[in-house]
Amino acid sequence: MNILALESSAKAASAALCRDGLLLAESYQNSGLTHSRTLLPLCQELLERCELPLEQVDLIAVAHGPGSFTGLRIGLATAKGLAWPDEKPCLGVSTLEAMAWNFLGWDGVICCAMDARRAQVYNALFRMGPQGPERLCEDRAISLAELTRDPNLPGALLVGDGAELCLRSAPELGLRLAPPNLRFQHAYGVARCALEHIRAGEHGDAASLDAHYLRLSQAERERLEREKRG
């Protein structure tokens, strides 16, 4: 199965092309340009370099959240645009679970954490084994104080742009930072995660793709506050 995977949930954008779990090529860009300018060209160049036309891609996979509201919308829109002409299957996967798949072969607990501002992180914990990550909790928006009380956290490997926040919040828990080249989101993890979900019998299409933000946007929170005051 040929999978084209997209990752645009944070500052960097990436695209990966995988065949049956094997990484054929990956493009990564963290130059400060908006994902609307970088993501689609990354996909097009990737397919051209691999001499694989889009028609031969069997699945479009994309990180559907949590993450940057704008970044996620760009990734989902790009996936839908690539899939709709030929009605290709699409699958959205958890950004946090995809991050864990980058550590296949690691033995121990992985704490995936993205900075959600306001002293919170988007977080999920996984126990890594030979078959891949086993969930220890659902994706959540959680305060740093609450996360440090999770009994599965001590000794965990920290992954994501919220990793250093977690380390500073609980220096006594023996937490470890993943190396910088593996710490952040990569589209390969999205592809590998999507493959596992497909093997488990999940299906999806462009129409069913949707973002999983975990919490309301700032504009929505401000609107609710105005309605309460009014």
pLDDT tens, residue by residue, 155-193: 999 999 999 999 999 999 999 999 998 999 999 999 999
The pLDDT value given to residue 229: 73
Whole-angstrom Cα distance, residue 228 to residue 230?
5
Range of the domain at 109: 105-183
> If you average pLDDT over every residue of the chain, what do you get?
94
Question: Is the omega angle on the peptide bond into residue 66 within 30 degrees of 0, that is, cis?
Answer: yes
Q: Where does a domain end: 146, 166, 183? A: 183
Q: What is the pLDDT of residue 220?
A: 59
Q: From residue 87, how far is each of 55, 197, 229 by CA, in Å?
A: 10, 19, 46
Q: What is the pLDDT of residue 224?
A: 60
Contact in structure between 19 and 50 (CB atoms under 8 Å): no
* 11 and 82 both lie in a single domain: yes
Q: What's the number of domains the chain is made of? A: 2
Strands (E), 20-129: 22-29, 59-65, 90-94, 108-115, 120-129
Same domain as 54, residue 163 = no
Q: What is the CATH number of the domain that holds 134?
A: 3.30.420.40
Residues 9 and 93 in one domain: yes
Q: Are 116 and 138 within one domain? A: yes
Q: How far apart are CA 31 and CA 34, in angstroms?
A: 9
Q: Which two tokens stand for residue 134?
A: 């086993």
